Structure 1
C-alpha cells in the first residue's frame, strides 16, 4: 500500500453509495462506518504497476471501520444546534461512542496485570509484597510472597494458612539453610532478612524434604481433600501442589524443582525490603 484513506460514513445499496447519519443507522439497525481505501503499487513481470484513486479516495476498498460520533470523520463534526436537530441528534450529546448494528456501543478501558511476571506492591498493612499471576493452557493461579510478623510467607488459596517460605523451599529439596540463603543473595543483609523465617522453620523441627512435605500436606485446604487425598499420602499431595499449582507457569520435570526454586528466590528481597547497599538508605523503596 502506498496510501491509506478513511472515507465518509456511507452505505452501499443496489450498487449505489450514499452518505449516512448516525440516526439513520439507529433506525435501520446498521453500523455507522466508513470505507477504508488504498492506493497500491505492485510488480508484474519487470513492470511496476501503480494504482491510485482520486479526490482523497483510494483505488481499492479493503474494508470498513466504525466511526466514532463527533470525531473528525463524523458528519456531526462542527454542526450547530439547528443542524444537529435536523440530523435527529441532541445538541447536548457529547458523542464519543459508536453505532453498531443499530446499537450504541462504548469502548471501556480495562486494566489487566501482566501474567507470569513478578509484581511488587504494598498490602493493606503498608508492607511490600511480591505476587505473580501464573497462567498456562491448563490453569491459572496467583501466588503471593508476603512479610508477616517479620517472617516471609507464601500465600496461595491451595493452603489453609500462609506458609513459611523456608518450609516451601525445603519441600522443594533445599534442605540446607546455608544453600537457601546463598540462593537468595550473597549480601549478609539477606541472611538478616531471612533469620526470623529460618528460626520459625527450626521451631517446627522440619529439617528434611520429607518432613516439610508431610507438614505442608496438612495445610492443604479441605476442598482438595477428596477421593485422591484418601488414596495418596500428605507428602504426595503437597508435592503435586508445589509442582503443578504454585507458580504453575514454571515447569517441573519429574519433581525436579530447581527452576522453580530459582524463580521463587527472586521474591524474598522484594517482599521483605530492598537490601541496602553502602551509602544508600536503609528504608524500603
Structure 2
C-alpha cells in the first residue's frame, strides 16, 4: 500500500475518509507535520512557547490570519479541516473527542500551527540502511511523557514528550549524526539509554503510540516529539483547541531535503 503513494494521493484518501491510520513510513521524501489549532487569543503565547522550545516544537508553517484553512506553503490543495487522518478535540484542557474531519466545528478565530515531525527524518535513516523498528513492525512510533521541563510561555508549560527508536550502539551513533542535519524536525536525539533517567518507568508501556521490539544489545534512542504541545495545552487549558491524534500527521508537498542544513 501506501509507501509509494504521493502526498496528493494520500491527502485525497484522507479527505474522503478512506485513510484514517497513522502516517509513519508513508510518502517517503516529504515533510510530515504535527498540528495545533488554537483561538486567536491563545495563539501569540503558543507561538512564544514554540520559539522557546524549538526541539519539541519546531514551527514549519503558521496560518497568516485567524480563520485561514488553506496553507499554500504546505501544498496548493491543502485544507486543515479535512486533510489530517485523525484530530483530537480539547475543551478546557480535556480531550473530549477524536474525529476525522473538523469542517463542522471550524471557527473564524482559529489559528493553525504545523510543527516538524520525526517521521520526516525516518526517510534519511532508512536511506542509510538503518532499520526503523516502528516502520518494519508496521506500528505507530512509541511516545512517552518525560520529566524534562519545557520553558514556559504565558499560560503554556509542561514536560517534553519523546518518541523512541531502538538501535545497536553503532547504529545509534549514526542515527544521531543523521538526525543532526534536520533541526526543524526535532534534530539530534535528547537522550539514549536508561529510560528512568528521563522519567520513563516502563519502556514497554508507551503513553502514546505502540510498543516496539527492543532486541538484545539495542539501546532506546529518544527524540523530542511534537506531541509535547498537547501536554502544554492540557496544562494551559484553553477553552477550545484542536490537535492531531498522535501519529496521524499532515503530509506536505515539501521535500525533506529542503529541511537539511548540511
TM-score strictly above 0.5: no
Between the two structures, name the one with larger relative contact order (CA 8 Å, sep ≥ 6): 2
* Higher Cα Rg, which structure: 1
Q: Which TM-score tier does this pair reach, normalised by the shorter chain?
A: under 0.3
